[in-house]
Amino acid sequence: MVSFQSLLPWSFFVLMMILKSSALDKYTAAVYEHSVLLPKPTHKPVSSEEALKLMNRNMDILEEAIKRAAAQGAHIIVTPEDGIYGFQFTRETLYPYLEDIPDPQVNWIPCNDSQRFGPAPVQERLSCLARDNSIYVVANIGDKKPCDYTDPKCPNDGRYQYNTNVVFDSDGKLVARYHKFNLFMSEAQFDFPKEPEHVIFNTSFGKFGIFTCFDILFHDPAITLVSKLKVDTILFPTAWMNVLPHLTAVEFHSAWAMGMQVNLLSSNTHKIGMNMTGSGIYAPDGPQAYHYDAESENGQLLIAELHAHPSVSPTYLHAVNWSLHATTIKPFPQNNTFSGFIFSDEFTFSQLDNQAGNLTVCQKDLCCHLSYRMTEQQEDEVYALGSFDGLHVVEGEYYLQVSFSQGEVLLIMIESGN
């Protein structure tokens, strides 16, 4: 028989162990770039059975990725925007794919109690995948919310349809729901929420925030989550089309994580016919893993270890005050500038016409300085440095300050200009 006396230190030790392991300094993150199976194009809505059949085929593939990630010790896995039902819908044809997704405050484990808020087979399956594999699962699905004449903003068809991220914790509980605020122009099948939602949740491996794709170009909710709500990691399902010069997934998203000094788990849809590829696990000190594949139709699982609280990690680089830094730079000479259009923006360019050189190119308030040395330059190549500072108006409207140095693109531009 064990006396109480001898039990006490032992139970104290166990408690210490639990406390110690309950807050992690590091964790393992997974993202899955998924080659989504698209529904057949249709003008008439399919039945909800047919919609579920397609979603289950996509979830079969996600299930394999979730199991592999969990087997490698991942605490959380992010899957892409539109990764369960695809895209190119009207409001009507999307409807059979939607579920009513409750506010996480209801404290719900769909895997245990799937019928509590009406039929929810997709949430049930995602919740069971999270619970059965003891891993946080992040997915993008569609929410429907009925409304009526008492709401002057209620759409004519009597419902809101939201592009929605959901997070299930490792017990299968719904812990986050985020309705995308900055819809991309072609997302007419969805409504945007009246106000941007700033969705955060705590875990034993840090504080998380979440948003979707085009949101990353705007102040809310993205910047607020980091600067005011102080999250450690951003979860970022996306269906990102790579467009030069600056809207390229790996470069843009890794730079955002470095500039904002947070972790960013970016999971892209894989559709090379639409230039969609490029996923990564990005930390403030650089990408820990990334994937870009414009050749094959395959999905890809990425796994990497991250600091749970990058702002207090030893490798944290204290944020540079770039405004201050810029005032200390003496501009190089501006040489032979010319203008040209890239992605419909009129850049100011200067050619890199020596083996090595120092160059400054300014447009309005934006000056970019470059020190360069060429390792190799083919006869038919031209290199230039360009700057743009203004309102971008194609495929979305937003102000940009962007500089880049590029070879081949310029060549194409000069040819088409002639």
Ligand X SMILES: *[C@@H]1O[C@H](CO)[C@@H](O)[C@H](O)[C@H]1NC(C)=O
336 part of the interface to ligand X, by CB under 6 A: yes
275 part of the interface to ligand X, by CB under 6 A: yes
| Cα dihedral 94/99/100/105 (nearest 10) | -130
Q: Contacts with ligand X in 139-198 (CB under 6 A)? A: 171
Specify whether 213 is catalytic.
Answer: yes
| Binding residue for ligand X, selected from 115, 156, 344, 371, defined by CB under 6 A | 371
Shortest Cβ 354–ligand X spacing (Å):
5
| Binding residue for ligand X, selected from 11, 88, 90, 202, defined by CB under 6 A | 202
Encoded one letter per residue, x for contact with ligand X by CB under 6 A and - for no contact, window 204-243 reads ---x---------------------------------x--
Query: 282 vs 24, 208, 307, CA distance in Å?
Result: 19, 14, 11
Encoded one letter per residue, x for contact with ligand X by CB under 6 A and - for no contact, window 88-107 reads --------------------
Count Cβ atoms below 10 Å from residue 112 Cβ, excluding itself: 14
Q: 96 or 104: whose CB is closer to ligand X?
A: 104
Q: 132 or 171: whose CB is closer to ligand X?
A: 171
> Which one of the spans 4-12, 47-55, 69-77, 330-338 is the region binding ligand X (CB under 6 A)?
330-338
**From 33, 63, 81, 187, the catalytic residue:** 81
| Binding residue for ligand X, selected from 186, 324, 375, 417, defined by CB under 6 A | 324
| Binding residue for ligand X, selected from 134, 339, 358, 377, defined by CB under 6 A | 358
| Binding residue for ligand X, selected from 321, 328, 375, 418, defined by CB under 6 A | 321
| Binding residue for ligand X, selected from 45, 121, 340, 357, defined by CB under 6 A | 357
- Residue type present at position 398: Y
37 part of the interface to ligand X, by CB under 6 A: no
Q: 235 or 303: whose CB is closer to ligand X?
A: 235
261 part of the interface to ligand X, by CB under 6 A: no
396 part of the interface to ligand X, by CB under 6 A: no
356 part of the interface to ligand X, by CB under 6 A: yes
Could you write out the three-class secondary structure of the chain?
Answer: CCCHHHHHHHHHHHHHHHHHHHCCCEEEEEEEEECCCCCCCCCCCCCHHHHHHHHHHHHHHHHHHHHHHHHCCCCEEECCCCCCCCCCCCHHHHHHHCECCCCHHHCCCCCCCCCECECCHHHHHHHHHHHHHCCEEEEEEEEEEECCCCCCCCCCCCEEEEEEEEEECCCCCEEEEEECCCCCCCCCCCCCCCCCCCCEEEECCEEEEECCHHHHHCHHHHHHHHHCCCCCEEEEEECCECECCCECHHHHHHHHHHHHCCEEEEEEECEHHHCECCEEEEECCEEEEEECCCCCCCCEEEEEEEECCHHHCCCCCCCCCHHHHHHCCCCCCCCCEEEEEECCEEEEEEECCCCEEEEEEEECCEEEEEEEECCCCCCCCCCEEEEEEEEECCCCCEEEEEEEEECHHHHHHHHHHC
Question: Considering just the CA atoms, what is the radius of gyration of the chain in Å?
Answer: 24
> Which one of the spans 55-63, 176-184, 189-197, 328-336 is the region binding ligand X (CB under 6 A)?
328-336
323 part of the interface to ligand X, by CB under 6 A: yes
| Binding residue for ligand X, selected from 65, 69, 101, 109, defined by CB under 6 A | 109
375 part of the interface to ligand X, by CB under 6 A: no
**From 187, 213, 251, 368, the catalytic residue:** 213
The candidate with the shortest Cα–Cα distance to 267, out of 252, 277, 276, 279, is: 279
24 part of the interface to ligand X, by CB under 6 A: no
Structure tokens at 147: 């409304």
333 part of the interface to ligand X, by CB under 6 A: yes
Number of residues that bind ligand X (CB under 6 A): 22
354 part of the interface to ligand X, by CB under 6 A: yes
Shortest Cβ 47–ligand X spacing (Å):
30
| Cβ proximity of 346 and 340 under 8 Å | yes
> Which one of the spans 278-286, 329-337, 374-382, 398-406 is the region binding ligand X (CB under 6 A)?
329-337
> Which one of the spans 209-217, 301-309, 333-341, 394-402 is the region binding ligand X (CB under 6 A)?
333-341
| Cβ proximity of 130 and 136 under 8 Å | yes
Binding site for ligand X (CB under 6 A): 109, 112, 171, 200, 202, 207, 241, 274-275, 321, 323-324, 333, 335-336, 353-354, 356-359, 371
Residues with catalytic roles: 81, 180, 213
